[in-house]
Amino acid sequence: MGSDFDEGSFKKARSFLMVFSTMLLALWYFKAEMNTLSLLGNSIKFTANTHNLWLVLAVANIYFFCRYIQHLPEDWRKPGKDFEDLFNQTLCRVARFYYSRELHRIAWKDFMKGHDISGITGFKTRATGSPYRDKPKRDGWRMLLPRGVIIEFSLPIEWTSESGSKAGRNGTRALIDPSLILVAYSRGVSFIKGVILAPWFTEHLFPMLYAACAIVVGFWSWQTADVPPVDAPSSVAHPVQASIQANPRAIRCMSESIQAKHSVLSVACVPGADVASPALPLVLKAAPSKSG
């Protein structure tokens, strides 16, 4: 992969990164034993430093991670129009529910200006809003906030006259400056929806998070891998040696049997001991005498 990479390089880099990261996570989760490697039909067996294979895999995944970042488009940080549309829809729906009484009051106040309200029943409004960004006049600490979101609601109204006939008209418009809590809530809900419905997260952000997790797992597995132990002579005494060391009479008896090279005598001294057996290294050590 170099400067001559074709225009589909971003998709290829993403595929390599996802496949290698998935393989690394699968090896870790299923506790695979990485002792052999099949290469072009030939089986290669690792005999030393097998615990460092996790380090090799983690470094290789870092390479694919860097290649993926190098091929990211310039505008990858922007969620795009899909996320903004989801935010606008969510904010309008939440604000319409939260400010429903205020919107109804504004519509009714406007209706009273040109109509005789006697006998009017079934008055209702169906508010529809569209947000836009502006710099509204704010008091106090809210003046320090960045440009806010203003929702312009259209308030078409319907009512039933005294004669029982239904009527309606477009009504007035109302500007609502939603609270910061509603804006933050709408941002969070729309982001969750966008992660599922829009391609921005799965195409740009998720591969990086997924690869970062695999790299951390690789280094952690390398640090916690069991290093093969080095063979060392055993320090545990043979039971026959322990029996001899604890019995001074056995020491004198075994000394005589060693000098005479007498197997039967050595067995009589300590059961199981045979000075003629090369598999039994005898260490004669007198036990300390008890005072008193």
How much is the pTM? 0.58
- Model confidence at 250, in pLDDT bands (50, 70, 90)? low
Q: How far is CA 28 from the centre of its chain?
A: 14
Q: Average pLDDT, stretch 272-286?
A: 47
pLDDT of residue 259: 60
Report the candidate in 84, 151, 86, 159 with the shortest Cα–Cα distance to residue 119: 159
pLDDT per residue over 75-90, tens digit each?
888 887 888 889 889 9
CB contact burial 194-221 (16+ within 10 A = b; e otherwise): beeebebbeebeebbebbeebbebbbeb
For 36, the 3-state DSSP assignment is strand
CA dist 86 → 82, 99, 195 (Å): 6, 20, 11
- Model confidence at 256, in pLDDT bands (50, 70, 90)? low
> Average pLDDT, whole number, for the chain?
76
Domain boundaries along the sequence of the chain: 9-78+201-224, 81-197, 237-287
Residue with tokens 């009714």: 108
- Model confidence at 130, in pLDDT bands (50, 70, 90)? confident
pLDDT per residue over 24-67, tens digit each?
999 999 888 777 777 777 778 888 888 888 999 999 999 999 99
